[in-house]
Amino acid sequence: MKFTKLISIMLCVVLICYLPLRAETLSQKDNSNILRNYALYNSYNSIDYIIKKFENHDLVIIGEHHYFKHIPILIQKIIPYLYANGVYNLGIEFGSADYQSKIDKLITSDHFNSDLARSIIFNAAPNFPYREYVDIYRAAWNLNRKLNKEEPKFRIVALPYSPNFRARQEKMTPNAWEKVWFKGNPEEFIANTILHEFILKNKKALIYGGANHLVTRYKTPVWTKEKGFIRFEKRAGNIIFDKVKEKVIFISMHLPWFSRYDNHPIYPAGGIIDTVFKSLTLKDRGFDILGTPFGKIIDTENDRSLGYKNFSLEDFCDGYIYQLPFSEFVPVSLDYGFVSKSNIKNAIENWPNPESRKKITSVKKYYEIMKVNLSEMIGNLK
Protein backbone atom coordinates (compact mmCIF):
# COMPACT_ATOMS: atom_id res chain seq x y z
CA MET A 1 0.00 0.00 0.00
CA LYS A 2 1.44 3.33 -1.03
CA PHE A 3 1.04 5.27 2.23
CA THR A 4 2.05 8.92 2.62
CA LYS A 5 4.54 9.74 5.34
CA LEU A 6 3.73 13.23 6.56
CA ILE A 7 3.24 12.42 10.21
CA SER A 8 5.66 14.87 11.79
CA ILE A 9 4.46 17.78 9.67
CA MET A 10 0.81 17.04 10.44
CA LEU A 11 1.47 16.71 14.14
CA CYS A 12 2.88 20.22 14.04
CA VAL A 13 -0.25 21.45 12.24
CA VAL A 14 -2.44 19.87 14.92
CA LEU A 15 -0.54 21.71 17.63
CA ILE A 16 -0.56 25.04 15.82
CA CYS A 17 -4.34 24.83 15.32
CA TYR A 18 -5.17 23.54 18.77
CA LEU A 19 -2.66 25.32 21.02
CA PRO A 20 -1.36 28.30 19.03
CA LEU A 21 0.18 30.10 22.03
CA ARG A 22 2.55 27.22 22.77
CA ALA A 23 3.38 26.16 19.21
CA GLU A 24 6.80 27.77 19.14
CA THR A 25 8.06 26.23 22.37
CA LEU A 26 6.92 22.61 22.11
CA SER A 27 9.01 19.87 20.54
CA GLN A 28 7.86 17.15 18.15
CA LYS A 29 7.66 14.83 21.15
CA ASP A 30 5.30 17.27 22.83
CA ASN A 31 3.14 17.36 19.68
CA SER A 32 2.84 13.59 19.71
CA ASN A 33 2.02 13.59 23.40
CA ILE A 34 -0.98 15.87 22.86
CA LEU A 35 -2.59 13.28 20.60
CA ARG A 36 -1.44 10.35 22.69
CA ASN A 37 -2.88 11.85 25.86
CA TYR A 38 -6.13 12.68 24.15
CA ALA A 39 -6.46 9.13 22.81
CA LEU A 40 -5.55 7.62 26.16
CA TYR A 41 -7.96 9.65 28.29
CA ASN A 42 -10.76 10.53 25.86
CA SER A 43 -11.42 7.35 23.90
CA TYR A 44 -13.89 4.63 24.82
CA ASN A 45 -14.80 1.10 23.93
CA SER A 46 -16.44 1.28 20.49
CA ILE A 47 -19.87 0.08 21.58
CA ASP A 48 -19.88 2.31 24.65
CA TYR A 49 -18.89 5.27 22.49
CA ILE A 50 -21.71 4.71 19.99
CA ILE A 51 -24.32 4.21 22.70
CA LYS A 52 -23.17 7.34 24.53
CA LYS A 53 -23.81 9.44 21.42
CA PHE A 54 -27.55 8.75 21.66
CA GLU A 55 -27.64 10.89 24.80
CA ASN A 56 -27.51 14.00 22.63
CA HIS A 57 -28.45 12.74 19.14
CA ASP A 58 -31.47 11.02 17.62
CA LEU A 59 -29.54 9.61 14.68
CA VAL A 60 -26.06 8.14 14.99
CA ILE A 61 -24.51 7.37 11.62
CA ILE A 62 -21.72 4.82 11.16
CA GLY A 63 -19.91 5.17 7.83
CA GLU A 64 -17.77 2.32 6.56
CA HIS A 65 -15.67 1.16 3.64
CA HIS A 66 -17.34 -2.10 2.61
CA TYR A 67 -15.86 -5.60 2.75
CA PHE A 68 -13.95 -5.59 6.07
CA LYS A 69 -15.16 -8.33 8.42
CA HIS A 70 -14.80 -6.59 11.76
CA ILE A 71 -17.16 -3.72 10.89
CA PRO A 72 -20.42 -5.62 10.20
CA ILE A 73 -19.54 -7.85 13.18
CA LEU A 74 -19.47 -4.71 15.34
CA ILE A 75 -22.97 -3.85 14.08
CA GLN A 76 -24.16 -7.36 14.92
CA LYS A 77 -22.76 -7.06 18.43
CA ILE A 78 -24.21 -3.64 19.16
CA ILE A 79 -27.85 -4.58 18.45
CA PRO A 80 -28.69 -5.85 21.98
CA TYR A 81 -26.93 -2.81 23.48
CA LEU A 82 -29.01 -0.49 21.31
CA TYR A 83 -32.17 -2.19 22.48
CA ALA A 84 -31.16 -2.08 26.14
CA ASN A 85 -30.69 1.68 25.78
CA GLY A 86 -34.03 2.37 24.13
CA VAL A 87 -32.90 2.44 20.50
CA TYR A 88 -35.12 0.03 18.60
CA ASN A 89 -34.16 0.82 15.00
CA LEU A 90 -31.27 0.13 12.65
CA GLY A 91 -31.26 1.64 9.17
CA ILE A 92 -28.89 -0.11 6.74
CA GLU A 93 -27.73 0.16 3.17
CA PHE A 94 -27.61 -3.62 2.76
CA GLY A 95 -31.09 -4.45 1.61
CA SER A 96 -33.96 -2.91 -0.33
CA ALA A 97 -36.89 -0.81 0.84
CA ASP A 98 -38.90 -2.67 -1.81
CA TYR A 99 -38.77 -5.71 0.49
CA GLN A 100 -39.34 -4.03 3.86
CA SER A 101 -42.35 -6.19 4.69
CA LYS A 102 -40.19 -9.27 4.15
CA ILE A 103 -37.50 -7.85 6.42
CA ASP A 104 -40.07 -7.26 9.15
CA LYS A 105 -41.28 -10.83 8.79
CA LEU A 106 -37.76 -12.27 8.65
CA ILE A 107 -36.55 -10.85 11.96
CA THR A 108 -39.77 -11.49 13.90
CA SER A 109 -40.43 -15.07 12.76
CA ASP A 110 -40.07 -18.14 14.99
CA HIS A 111 -37.27 -19.47 12.78
CA PHE A 112 -34.58 -17.61 10.90
CA ASN A 113 -34.87 -18.07 7.13
CA SER A 114 -31.34 -17.74 5.76
CA ASP A 115 -32.48 -17.94 2.15
CA LEU A 116 -34.91 -15.07 2.67
CA ALA A 117 -32.16 -13.00 4.31
CA ARG A 118 -29.88 -13.64 1.35
CA SER A 119 -32.60 -12.76 -1.15
CA ILE A 120 -33.23 -9.41 0.54
CA ILE A 121 -29.62 -8.39 -0.09
CA PHE A 122 -29.44 -10.17 -3.46
CA ASN A 123 -32.40 -8.21 -4.84
CA ALA A 124 -30.63 -4.97 -3.93
CA ALA A 125 -27.08 -5.99 -4.86
CA PRO A 126 -26.44 -9.39 -6.50
CA ASN A 127 -22.71 -8.67 -6.22
CA PHE A 128 -22.76 -8.64 -2.40
CA PRO A 129 -22.53 -12.30 -1.27
CA TYR A 130 -21.04 -11.68 2.16
CA ARG A 131 -22.01 -13.64 5.25
CA GLU A 132 -21.34 -10.96 7.86
CA TYR A 133 -23.88 -8.59 6.29
CA VAL A 134 -26.53 -11.33 6.12
CA ASP A 135 -25.80 -12.07 9.76
CA ILE A 136 -26.85 -8.56 10.77
CA TYR A 137 -30.41 -9.71 10.10
CA ARG A 138 -29.74 -12.85 12.10
CA ALA A 139 -28.52 -10.79 15.07
CA ALA A 140 -31.76 -8.77 15.06
CA TRP A 141 -33.82 -11.96 14.83
CA ASN A 142 -31.84 -13.48 17.70
CA LEU A 143 -32.68 -10.50 19.91
CA ASN A 144 -36.36 -10.43 18.96
CA ARG A 145 -36.93 -14.12 19.68
CA LYS A 146 -35.84 -13.53 23.30
CA LEU A 147 -38.29 -10.67 23.90
CA ASN A 148 -41.63 -10.98 25.61
CA LYS A 149 -44.74 -10.46 23.49
CA GLU A 150 -45.41 -7.15 25.24
CA GLU A 151 -41.97 -5.74 24.44
CA PRO A 152 -41.39 -3.73 21.25
CA LYS A 153 -39.55 -5.57 18.52
CA PHE A 154 -36.21 -4.41 17.20
CA ARG A 155 -36.50 -3.29 13.59
CA ILE A 156 -34.11 -3.19 10.64
CA VAL A 157 -35.06 -0.73 7.90
CA ALA A 158 -33.49 -1.02 4.44
CA LEU A 159 -32.66 2.47 3.18
CA PRO A 160 -32.18 2.23 -0.63
CA TYR A 161 -34.39 0.82 -3.37
CA SER A 162 -33.38 -1.88 -5.84
CA PRO A 163 -31.93 -0.26 -8.97
CA ASN A 164 -32.58 -1.68 -12.43
CA PHE A 165 -29.04 -2.65 -13.36
CA ARG A 166 -30.36 -4.53 -16.38
CA ALA A 167 -30.45 -1.10 -18.03
CA ARG A 168 -26.77 -0.47 -17.30
CA GLN A 169 -24.74 -0.38 -20.51
CA GLU A 170 -21.07 0.10 -21.31
CA LYS A 171 -21.87 3.49 -22.85
CA MET A 172 -24.43 5.23 -20.69
CA THR A 173 -26.77 8.05 -21.73
CA PRO A 174 -28.93 10.23 -19.45
CA ASN A 175 -31.95 8.22 -20.57
CA ALA A 176 -30.21 4.95 -19.68
CA TRP A 177 -29.32 6.26 -16.22
CA GLU A 178 -32.95 7.21 -15.65
CA LYS A 179 -33.88 3.60 -16.36
CA VAL A 180 -31.31 2.37 -13.84
CA TRP A 181 -32.43 4.79 -11.11
CA PHE A 182 -36.08 4.58 -12.05
CA LYS A 183 -37.35 5.74 -8.64
CA GLY A 184 -35.26 8.88 -8.71
CA ASN A 185 -32.03 10.09 -7.17
CA PRO A 186 -30.75 7.23 -4.94
CA GLU A 187 -29.25 9.63 -2.37
CA GLU A 188 -32.55 11.46 -2.01
CA PHE A 189 -34.36 8.14 -1.66
CA ILE A 190 -32.10 7.02 1.20
CA ALA A 191 -32.58 10.38 2.92
CA ASN A 192 -36.36 10.21 2.50
CA THR A 193 -36.43 6.71 3.97
CA ILE A 194 -34.54 7.97 7.04
CA LEU A 195 -36.83 10.99 7.24
CA HIS A 196 -40.11 9.05 7.07
CA GLU A 197 -39.08 5.97 9.07
CA PHE A 198 -37.29 7.72 11.91
CA ILE A 199 -37.25 11.52 12.00
CA LEU A 200 -40.95 12.20 11.39
CA LYS A 201 -41.85 9.41 13.82
CA ASN A 202 -39.50 10.76 16.53
CA LYS A 203 -37.60 7.47 16.65
CA LYS A 204 -33.93 7.13 17.47
CA ALA A 205 -31.93 4.98 15.08
CA LEU A 206 -28.45 3.78 14.29
CA ILE A 207 -27.74 4.30 10.58
CA TYR A 208 -25.12 2.09 8.95
CA GLY A 209 -23.73 2.04 5.43
CA GLY A 210 -21.05 3.31 3.11
CA ALA A 211 -19.40 6.51 4.35
CA ASN A 212 -19.67 8.07 0.89
CA HIS A 213 -23.48 8.04 1.14
CA LEU A 214 -23.83 9.03 4.76
CA VAL A 215 -21.46 11.97 5.35
CA THR A 216 -23.29 14.88 6.97
CA ARG A 217 -21.34 18.15 7.18
CA TYR A 218 -18.75 17.04 4.63
CA LYS A 219 -19.47 17.90 0.99
CA THR A 220 -18.30 15.31 -1.54
CA PRO A 221 -16.19 16.68 -4.41
CA VAL A 222 -16.82 15.74 -8.02
CA TRP A 223 -13.50 15.74 -9.85
CA THR A 224 -11.49 14.26 -12.68
CA LYS A 225 -7.76 13.79 -13.04
CA GLU A 226 -7.77 16.08 -16.07
CA LYS A 227 -9.93 18.91 -14.71
CA GLY A 228 -9.38 18.54 -10.99
CA PHE A 229 -12.17 19.77 -8.72
CA ILE A 230 -15.44 20.47 -10.54
CA ARG A 231 -18.16 20.89 -7.90
CA PHE A 232 -19.62 19.49 -4.69
CA GLU A 233 -22.55 17.10 -4.72
CA LYS A 234 -25.09 16.31 -2.03
CA ARG A 235 -25.26 12.87 -0.49
CA ALA A 236 -28.00 11.32 1.65
CA GLY A 237 -26.30 12.33 4.90
CA ASN A 238 -26.05 15.95 3.76
CA ILE A 239 -29.79 16.05 3.15
CA ILE A 240 -30.49 14.66 6.61
CA PHE A 241 -28.06 17.09 8.25
CA ASP A 242 -29.78 20.03 6.54
CA LYS A 243 -33.06 18.94 8.13
CA VAL A 244 -32.05 18.00 11.67
CA LYS A 245 -28.61 19.61 12.21
CA GLU A 246 -27.25 18.74 15.67
CA LYS A 247 -29.67 15.81 16.09
CA VAL A 248 -27.45 13.70 13.83
CA ILE A 249 -23.79 12.74 14.24
CA PHE A 250 -21.53 11.11 11.66
CA ILE A 251 -18.93 8.63 12.94
CA SER A 252 -16.36 7.29 10.51
CA MET A 253 -14.94 3.83 10.89
CA HIS A 254 -11.18 3.53 10.45
CA LEU A 255 -10.95 3.10 6.71
CA PRO A 256 -8.48 3.66 3.90
CA TRP A 257 -8.56 6.94 2.04
CA PHE A 258 -7.33 7.39 -1.52
CA SER A 259 -4.61 9.53 -3.03
CA ARG A 260 -5.73 12.55 -5.01
CA TYR A 261 -2.89 11.84 -7.43
CA ASP A 262 -3.14 8.15 -8.37
CA ASN A 263 -6.19 6.80 -6.46
CA HIS A 264 -4.04 4.38 -4.45
CA PRO A 265 -5.18 3.66 -0.88
CA ILE A 266 -3.39 5.71 1.75
CA TYR A 267 -3.58 6.10 5.50
CA PRO A 268 -6.28 8.56 6.63
CA ALA A 269 -4.93 11.77 8.14
CA GLY A 270 -1.44 10.97 6.93
CA GLY A 271 -1.12 7.94 9.22
CA ILE A 272 -1.24 9.88 12.50
CA ILE A 273 -4.19 7.94 13.88
CA ASP A 274 -2.43 4.63 13.27
CA THR A 275 0.83 5.87 14.74
CA VAL A 276 -0.80 7.12 17.93
CA PHE A 277 -2.97 4.07 18.61
CA LYS A 278 -0.21 1.61 17.76
CA SER A 279 2.12 3.39 20.18
CA LEU A 280 -0.49 3.03 22.91
CA THR A 281 -1.41 -0.54 21.87
CA LEU A 282 -5.06 0.54 21.92
CA LYS A 283 -7.73 -1.15 19.83
CA ASP A 284 -11.51 -1.00 19.50
CA ARG A 285 -11.75 2.66 20.53
CA GLY A 286 -14.21 5.41 19.69
CA PHE A 287 -13.36 9.09 20.13
CA ASP A 288 -14.52 12.55 19.10
CA ILE A 289 -13.02 14.38 16.14
CA LEU A 290 -14.93 17.66 15.92
CA GLY A 291 -13.33 20.25 18.18
CA THR A 292 -10.49 17.98 19.34
CA PRO A 293 -6.74 17.74 18.61
CA PHE A 294 -7.42 14.92 16.12
CA GLY A 295 -9.92 17.10 14.29
CA LYS A 296 -7.24 19.71 13.56
CA ILE A 297 -5.08 17.30 11.56
CA ILE A 298 -4.65 18.72 8.05
CA ASP A 299 -4.36 16.27 5.15
CA THR A 300 -4.41 17.57 1.58
CA GLU A 301 -2.98 14.42 -0.04
CA ASN A 302 -6.28 12.52 -0.24
CA ASP A 303 -9.10 12.87 -2.77
CA ARG A 304 -11.55 13.93 -0.06
CA SER A 305 -9.64 17.19 0.27
CA LEU A 306 -10.39 18.39 -3.27
CA GLY A 307 -12.31 21.64 -3.22
CA TYR A 308 -11.22 22.38 0.35
CA LYS A 309 -8.56 24.73 1.64
CA ASN A 310 -6.47 23.06 4.36
CA PHE A 311 -8.81 20.06 4.61
CA SER A 312 -8.80 18.66 8.15
CA LEU A 313 -10.19 15.49 9.71
CA GLU A 314 -13.04 17.39 11.38
CA ASP A 315 -14.19 18.59 7.96
CA PHE A 316 -15.01 14.94 7.24
CA CYS A 317 -16.49 13.48 10.43
CA ASP A 318 -17.66 14.20 13.97
CA GLY A 319 -16.35 11.01 15.57
CA TYR A 320 -14.11 8.08 14.74
CA ILE A 321 -13.81 4.39 15.54
CA TYR A 322 -10.44 2.71 15.39
CA GLN A 323 -10.82 -1.05 15.82
CA LEU A 324 -7.69 -2.45 14.19
CA PRO A 325 -4.56 -1.35 12.34
CA PHE A 326 -4.78 -1.97 8.60
CA SER A 327 -2.27 -4.79 8.86
CA GLU A 328 -4.90 -6.79 10.78
CA PHE A 329 -7.84 -6.14 8.45
CA VAL A 330 -9.37 -9.30 6.94
CA PRO A 331 -12.10 -9.48 4.30
CA VAL A 332 -15.69 -10.52 4.83
CA SER A 333 -16.59 -14.17 4.24
CA LEU A 334 -18.15 -15.37 1.02
CA ASP A 335 -21.61 -16.87 1.53
CA TYR A 336 -21.76 -19.83 -0.84
CA GLY A 337 -25.52 -20.06 -0.48
CA PHE A 338 -26.02 -16.56 -1.90
CA VAL A 339 -25.91 -17.53 -5.58
CA SER A 340 -26.88 -20.89 -7.06
CA LYS A 341 -28.07 -22.34 -10.34
CA SER A 342 -31.55 -21.06 -9.54
CA ASN A 343 -30.57 -17.36 -9.49
CA ILE A 344 -27.26 -17.07 -11.36
CA LYS A 345 -29.04 -15.84 -14.51
CA ASN A 346 -30.71 -13.09 -12.47
CA ALA A 347 -27.36 -12.21 -10.87
CA ILE A 348 -25.69 -11.82 -14.26
CA GLU A 349 -28.50 -9.72 -15.72
CA ASN A 350 -28.51 -7.38 -12.71
CA TRP A 351 -24.74 -7.12 -12.34
CA PRO A 352 -23.90 -3.42 -11.84
CA ASN A 353 -20.82 -3.41 -14.10
CA PRO A 354 -21.65 -4.39 -17.70
CA GLU A 355 -18.00 -5.08 -18.51
CA SER A 356 -17.58 -7.48 -15.58
CA ARG A 357 -20.95 -9.01 -16.37
CA LYS A 358 -19.46 -10.74 -19.40
CA LYS A 359 -16.96 -12.65 -17.25
CA ILE A 360 -19.60 -14.38 -15.11
CA THR A 361 -20.52 -17.55 -16.95
CA SER A 362 -21.39 -19.88 -14.07
CA VAL A 363 -21.88 -20.08 -10.31
CA LYS A 364 -18.31 -21.29 -9.99
CA LYS A 365 -16.99 -18.33 -11.98
CA TYR A 366 -19.11 -15.96 -9.92
CA TYR A 367 -17.45 -17.01 -6.67
CA GLU A 368 -14.00 -17.10 -8.25
CA ILE A 369 -14.38 -13.45 -9.24
CA MET A 370 -15.68 -12.49 -5.80
CA LYS A 371 -12.76 -14.25 -4.12
CA VAL A 372 -10.20 -12.52 -6.32
CA ASN A 373 -11.80 -9.13 -5.69
CA LEU A 374 -11.55 -9.56 -1.92
CA SER A 375 -7.99 -10.82 -2.14
CA GLU A 376 -6.89 -7.86 -4.26
CA MET A 377 -8.59 -5.36 -1.94
CA ILE A 378 -6.80 -6.69 1.13
CA GLY A 379 -3.54 -6.99 -0.82
CA ASN A 380 -3.66 -3.28 -1.58
CA LEU A 381 -3.69 -2.51 2.13
CA LYS A 382 -0.51 -4.41 2.94
Q: What is the pTM of this model?
A: 0.91
Angle at 323 between CA 261 and CA 83, to 5 degrees: 125
CA distance 111 to 297: 49
pLDDT for 1 equals 52
Q: Decide if pLDDT at 182 tops 70.
A: yes
3-state secondary structure of 278: helix
Helix pair 70-84, 131-144: axis angle to 10 deg: 20
User: For residue 68, what pLDDT band results from cuts at 50, 70 and 90?
Assistant: very high
DSSP string computed for 291-354 = TSTGGG-B--SBGGGTT-SS-BHHHH-SEEEE-S-GGG--BPPB-TTSS-TTTHHHHHHT-S-H
Could you report how far apart the first and last alpha carbons of the chain are, in Å? Answer: 5
Q: Dump pLDDT digits (tens) for 229-266.
A: 889 999 999 999 999 999 999 999 999 999 988 888 99
Q: H-helix or E-strand containing 283? A: none
Q: In this predicted structure, what is the pLDDT of residue 382?
A: 61
Query: Quick one: three-class SS letters along 121-178?
Result: HHCCCCCCCEHHHHHHHHHHHHHHCCCCCCCCCCEEEECCCCCCHHHCCCCCCHHHHH
Among 25-34, 63-72, 168-177, name the one with the lowest average pLDDT: 25-34
Whether 181 contacts 163, CB under 8 Å: yes
Q: For the chain, which domains are there?
A: 43-254+323-379 (3.40.50)
Partnered with residue 44 across adjacent β-strands are 286
The overall average pLDDT reported for the chain is 91
